Amino acid sequence: MEELIRNASIEDFKRGYVWNCKNAQFICLICGQNIDDNDTDASAHIIKHGSPIERLLLLDKKYTGLTEIQKEFLTMMSNKYTDKEIASKLTCAESTVRNMRFALRERARQARAFLAIMELAEEEKPTTVQPTKLRVFPAREGKRKALLPRFAALFEPNREYTEIEVKKIIKTIYEDDATIRRYLVDYGYLKRNTNGSKYYKNCEGNIMDNLERKELINKYKQQEIEMGIIKIHNKVTGYSFVGICKNLYKPFEGIKFRLGTGSCKPKKMQEDWNTYGEDSFTFEVVEKLKPKEGTTEKEKVDELNELMKMWIDSQEENLKLY
């Protein structure tokens, strides 16, 4: 199903269903149900999912790239809501609505240009043989783990290798043998003696123990961290600082430390802190981000910035910013 959605054309998306050559049937892009092999039945089924734009907005973010706020905005656009009505629904200023309209139209223009570029890039496939050597060893955990078995396969079990032999074998694929040797040992593919002069290929059980241990560490690192919008308010002057916070666990500790050492920005807030002291300021989390499951870190930060802009616009004249 996922492959059918990824390969669907613009017309398929507008229509709401796609032809599955393997099963000789139409498949609904929204619910994945197999439909009979004629357009009439397919059209009758797809109507159940609403209008064309309603159907497309039901698709997951990984297919459309749209945030929940953008989906809500586009739904109102398609229903011919005025800027004032949209602003009221989203609790933001009309200027924010106009900016969102412009941003989405700009995104559509960029998408058209990108499609043209991709079509031109894929017109002629290069016929030259790709080199077998790696140019760069990836830093990301997933890609690194996927490549390590390729290096491990170069070594034979139940055989002793000298450090020089290990270097020579690794260099057939990648020049930086020291990095690869370290990772192969860390991930349990190779083991070595205490002085590092002899290497042996590890058995599969030990490799799995190492990988599972590293997997647990990675899962701990990837635990969901709350993000949100913070506000620091000066009760004396009435000015406030509003910003995004990528980790709401003790969100103000770092800021208070910088204010205490005189190294905080904005400069005016630092001056007021020096003049009036900590007791003249209040610290609060004004919004928390509720990201959709599967959202990447970059997408969360983008949504966080968008949420901050909307919150600031919603305060109108009640908010004076540093």
Longest CA span, the chain: 77
Average pLDDT for 244-248: 89
Instruction: Please calculate the CA angle 261-263-267 and round it to the nearest 5 degrees.
Output: 125
Long-range contacts: 92-98, Cβ < 8 Å, 24+? 92/310, 92/313, 92/314, 93/313, 93/314, 93/316, 95/313, 96/309, 96/310, 96/313, 97/73
Residue 165, pLDDT above cutoff 90: yes
Residue 318, pLDDT above cutoff 70: yes
Cis status of the peptide bond prior to 266, with omega within 30 of 0 = yes
Average pLDDT for 30-55: 76
Q: What is the pLDDT at residue 54?
A: 83
One-letter amino acid for residue 110 of the chain: Q
The percent of residues in the chain predicted with pLDDT above 70, rounded, is: 87
Whether CATH 3.40.1440.10 fits 228-321: yes
Q: What is the pLDDT at residue 130?
A: 47
Residue 63, pLDDT above cutoff 60: yes
Average pLDDT for 293-306: 86
The domain locations on the chain are 2-120, 141-221, 228-321
- Whose tokens are 């396969």? That residue is 153
Residue 61, pLDDT above cutoff 80: yes
Residue 58, pLDDT above cutoff 90: no
Across the chain, mean pLDDT equals 83
Banded pLDDT at 157 (limits 50, 70, 90):
confident
Give the torsion sign (CA, 158, 160, 163, 165): negative
* DSSP per-residue string spanning 68-117: HHHHHHHHHHHTT--HHHHHHHHTS-HHHHHHHHHHHHHHHHHHHHHHHH
E strand or H helix that includes residue 289? none
Least confident of 18-22, 53-57, 153-157, 196-200: 18-22
Q: What is the pLDDT at residue 129?
A: 47
Average pLDDT for 248-265: 87
Q: Give the model confidence (pLDDT) of 259-294 as tens digits.
A: 988 888 899 999 999 999 999 999 999 998 887 777
Q: Which of 304, 282, 163 is nearest to 233 (CA)?
A: 282
Residue with the bigger pLDDT between 46 and 276: it is 276
Q: What is the pLDDT at residue 28?
A: 82
* CB 92, CB 65: distance < 8 Å: no
Average pLDDT for 154-170: 90
Q: What is the pLDDT at residue 230?
A: 94
Q: What are phi and psi of 156, to 5 degrees?
A: -95, 145
Whether CATH 1.25.40 fits 141-221: no
Average pLDDT for 289-316: 86
Residue with the bigger pLDDT between 4 and 189: it is 189
Q: What is the pLDDT at residue 205?
A: 46
Average pLDDT for 4-24: 75
Which alpha helices (H) appear in the chain, and where do they start and end? 2-7, 10-15, 39-46, 52-57, 61-64, 68-78, 83-90, 94-121, 141-152, 163-170, 177-186, 204-221, 253-261, 267-276, 297-315
Banded pLDDT at 131 (limits 50, 70, 90):
very low
The percent of residues in the chain predicted with pLDDT above 90, rounded, is: 23
Q: Give the model confidence (pLDDT) of 137-148 as tens digits.
A: 887 877 888 888
Distance set, CA 164 to CA 92, 115, 147, 158, 174 (Å): 66, 49, 22, 18, 15
Strand pairing of 228-234 and 25-28? unpaired
Average pLDDT for 115-143: 72
Both structure tokens of 281: 């300021």
C-alpha radius of gyration, the chain, whole number? 28
Instruction: Please calculate the CA angle 164-200-145 and round it to the nearest 5 degrees.
Output: 95
Q: What are phi and psi of 160, to 5 degrees?
A: -95, 135
Distance set, CA 284 to CA 234, 262, 277, 288 (Å): 12, 21, 17, 11
One-letter amino acid for residue 212 of the chain: E
* CB 176, CB 225: distance < 8 Å: no
